[in-house]
């Protein structure tokens, strides 16, 4: 059962998230919220993604951690705007943190906004950040049963990245079983197996990303009109 205070915090978060979502809608930015355990490879995955974006693509990254700017330093090497959000203790990002950092960029139009949440499979699940979709990152070093143990995030995610498949020869992990568990929780979840180290599977991921961006533009009837208004007023 959700405690009344927690309910109030979440509904305030939902209100701010709705504002973030409508601003991102106006500029047509596809926003994805990456959630996974510490060390699953979220930053490594985003680093390789930035390297592979076609030239002329605009993208930005917000990366969340409890402490340090380490991930922002890694991600900024790839030539895209990056901001670190250090929560100072909170185990998740919230919509207010995202909103204040997006104001630093004046809610500028990007093709993609990638948000790396604080490493955790539980707390970030409840906090809407105004994203278009959640992506759960699981690595083969974590055990196949994580979808059954942490069903909330697997239920809400539209995509599961199964990372570190280069380690499969060395760890007792059955990818088919992990996928079966994830689909038991969420029959619609799309799954991509990849290695951020070797680049295996990134062709599928980059194709998914491009399709998702086109689908968002296609299904956002407000985008063109709203964009014209913000461009010409
Ligand atoms: N072998 C292997 N190691 C990886 C892969 N992706 C990330 N790593 C390593 O896993 C560790 C944690 O990665 P990091 O990106 O910091 O994870 P995060 O905490 O989820 O952001 C680092 O030592 C990475 O080099 C992968 O696909 N294969
Ligand atoms: Mg990281």
Q: pLDDT tens for residues 26-69?
A: 999 999 999 999 999 999 999 999 999 999 999 999 999 999 99
Strand spans (E) along the chain: 30-36, 59-65, 82-86, 112-116, 133-139, 159-163, 190-193
Cβ neighbors of 59 (< 8 A, separation 6 or more) are 50, 53, 80, 110, 111, 112, 113, 114
Domain range list for the chain: 4-216
Q: Which ligand is nearest to the CA of 45?
A: 1
- Rounded Cα distance between 7 and 25, Å, is 26
Q: What share of the chain is helix, strand, coil (3-state, %, to 5)?
A: 45, 15, 35
Tell me if the pTM is above 0.85.
yes
Mean pLDDT over residues 203-208, rounded? 98
> 4-216 in CATH: which number?
3.40.50.300
Q: Which residues line ligand 1 (CB under 6 A)?
A: 36, 38-44, 119, 163-164, 166-167, 195-197
Distance CA 105, CA 99 (A): 10
Ligand 1 centroid from CA 133, angstroms: 22
The reported pLDDT for the residue numbered 225 is 52
41 Cα–ligand 1 center, Å: 4
Per-residue pLDDT at 231 exceeds 80: no
Alpha-carbon span 96 to 105, nearest angstrom: 15
pLDDT, position 219: 73
| Alpha-carbon torsion, ordered 82, 85, 91, 96, to 10 deg | -110
Q: Look at residue 81 and tell me whether its pLDDT is greater than 80.
A: yes
Q: How far is the CA of 117 from the centre of ligand 2 (A)?
A: 8
């Amino acid at each position: 059962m959700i405690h009344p205070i927690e309910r109030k915090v979440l509904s305030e978060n939902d209100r701010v998230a709705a504002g973030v979502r409508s601003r991102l809608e106006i500029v047509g930015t596809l926003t994805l919220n990456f959630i996974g355990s510490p060390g699953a490879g979220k930053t490594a995955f985003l680093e390789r993604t930035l390297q592979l974006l076609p030239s002329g693509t605009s993208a930005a990254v917000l990366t969340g951690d409890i402490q340090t700017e380490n991930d922002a330093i890694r991600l900024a090497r790839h030539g895209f705007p990056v901001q670190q959000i250090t929560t100072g203790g909170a185990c998740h990002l919230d919509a207010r943190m995202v909103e204040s950092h997006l104001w630093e960029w004046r809610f500028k139009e990007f093709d993609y906004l990638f948000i790396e949440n604080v490493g955790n499979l539980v707390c970030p699940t409840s906090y809407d950040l105004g994203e278009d979709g959640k992506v759960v990152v699981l690595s083969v070093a974590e055990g196949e049963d994580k979808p059954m143990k942490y069903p909330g995030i697997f239920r809400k995610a539209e995509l599961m990245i199964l990372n570190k498949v280069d380690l499969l020869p060395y760890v007792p992990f059955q990818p088919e079983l992990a996928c079966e568990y994830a689909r038991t929780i969420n029959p619609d979840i799309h799954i991509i197996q990849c290695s951020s180290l070797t680049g295996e599977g990134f062709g599928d991921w980059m194709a998914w990303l491009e399709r998702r961006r086109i689908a968002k533009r296609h299904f956002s009837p407000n985008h063109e009109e709203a964009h014209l208004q913000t461009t010409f007023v």
